[in-house]
């Protein structure tokens, strides 16, 4: 089965700085690579995803990059804001199967 590792487990940045979270996976058959944001007491929300035929995807301040050869993908947040503070999860999977979540990264953005 899929083995997912996520680093770092906690990340503290100043408002306006960039944040990068890396996710390493084991299953070479994985072809869908999403990132979820979970605020305290809320459900996980999909913030960005990428598929295996694309190397990078950007949506305003958020981007995801994928290195299929090395089996890792990363979440990049630029110009961080206090409302970016949350727990972020990667959850790679193969189409038609369940998401397998990393252990999460707690991002704290201080103003």
CA distances from 107 to 54, 67, 70, 111 (A): 26, 23, 25, 13
CA angle 39, 100, 9 (to 5 degrees): 50
Selected range binding other proteins among 14-22, 44-52, 61-69, 75-83, rule: CB under 8 A: 44-52
Binding of other proteins by 103 (CB under 8 A): yes
d(CA 12, CA 15) in angstroms, rounded, equals: 10
Of the candidates 11, 47, 63, 99, which one interacts with other proteins according to CB under 8 A?
A: 99
Nearer CB in complex with other proteins: 44/72: 44
Binding of other proteins by 7 (CB under 8 A): no
Q: How many residues bind other proteins (CB under 8 A)?
A: 19
Nearer CB in complex with other proteins: 39/79: 39
Selected range binding other proteins among 13-21, 39-47, 55-63, 75-83, rule: CB under 8 A: 39-47
Tell me which residues in 58-87 interact with other proteins (CB under 8 A): none
Cross-strand pairs, 74? 22, 65
d(CA 31, CA 42) in angstroms, rounded, equals: 27
Preceding peptide of 2 cis, ω within 30°: no
Nearer CB in complex with other proteins: 13/99: 99
């Amino acid at each position: 089965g899929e083995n997912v590792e996520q680093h770092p487990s906690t990340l503290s940045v100043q408002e306006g700085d960039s944040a990068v979270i890396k996710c390493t996976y084991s299953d070479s058959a994985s072809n869908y690579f999403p990132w979820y944001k979970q605020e305290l007491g809320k459900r996980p929300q999909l913030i960005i995803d990428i598929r295996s035929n694309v190397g990078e995807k950007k949506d305003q301040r958020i981007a995801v990059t994928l290195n299929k050869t090395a089996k890792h993908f990363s979440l990049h947040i630029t110009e961080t804001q206090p409302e970016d503070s949350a727990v972020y999860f990667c959850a790679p999977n193969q189409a038609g199967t369940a998401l397998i979540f990393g252990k999460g990264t707690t991002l704290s953005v201080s103003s």
